[in-house]
């Protein structure tokens, strides 16, 4: 959980008032939708936070246990990494 994922330059993220967001891969022109919590995860990662800090941000904003938040964030990051949208350093 101390991993700090790297967000590649070829990925653009845009969101609408913190609600859903859209990720666009400039290399493949594939795009993905993130829900509200996914948007919070991405926005937190953009500030250079570790996965542990993202868990803290999520549990601060939402009624979710640390364990559930950690599992969800890990799953999301692995999925994004499989599409080349972030790198798990």
Partner 1 sequence: MTWLCATKKVSPSSNWSLGGVSFQIEAADQRAARLTQSACTGFRLERVWSVTASPGIGTLSVRCAEPSFNVSAGRFIRAAPGWRCLSDTQKAWFVFAGAVVVIPRSQPLVEILLSSHRRPWPPELLSQIFGCALHALLQPRGLHFLHGAGLIAPNSEEGVLIVGASGSGKSTLSLRLVTSCWRYLTDDLLLVGATPHGSILAHAFRRNFAVSAEILRRCGVQSGEEPLPEKRGGEKRKRWLDPDTIFIDRYAAQCVPQILIFPRLTGAPESRVEAMTSADALLALLQETPLVSYDPTITRAQVQTLTRLVAQTRAWRLHAGRDLLEDPDRAAQLLSSLL
Q: Tokens in use for 15?
A: 């969101």
Q: Using CB under 8 A, which of 19, 62, 71, 83 touches partner 1?
A: 19
- Reference 74, options 59, 60, 89, 88; nearest CA is 88
Torsion sign, CA atoms 54, 67, 16, 4: positive
Which range, of 31-39, 46-54, 60-68, 76-84, touches partner 1 by CB under 8 A?
A: 31-39
Using CB under 8 A as the binding rule, whether residue 21 contacts partner 1 is answered as yes
* Shortest Å distance, C-beta 14 to partner 1: 5
Which range, of 25-33, 49-57, 58-66, 67-75, touches partner 1 by CB under 8 A?
A: 25-33
Using CB under 8 A as the binding rule, whether residue 81 contacts partner 1 is answered as no
List Cβ neighbours of 65 (8 Å cut-off, separation of 6 or more). Answer: 59
């Amino acid at each position: 959980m101390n991993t700090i994922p790297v967000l590649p330059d070829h990925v653009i993220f845009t969101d609408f008032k913190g609600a859903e967001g859209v990720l666009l891969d400039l290399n493949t022109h594939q795009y993905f939708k993130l829900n509200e919590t996914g948007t919070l995860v991405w926005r937190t990662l953009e500030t250079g936070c570790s996965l542990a800090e993202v868990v803290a941000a999520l549990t601060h904003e939402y009624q979710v246990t640390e364990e559930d938040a950690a599992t969800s964030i890990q799953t999301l990051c692995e999925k994004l990494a499989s599409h080349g949208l972030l790198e798990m350093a």
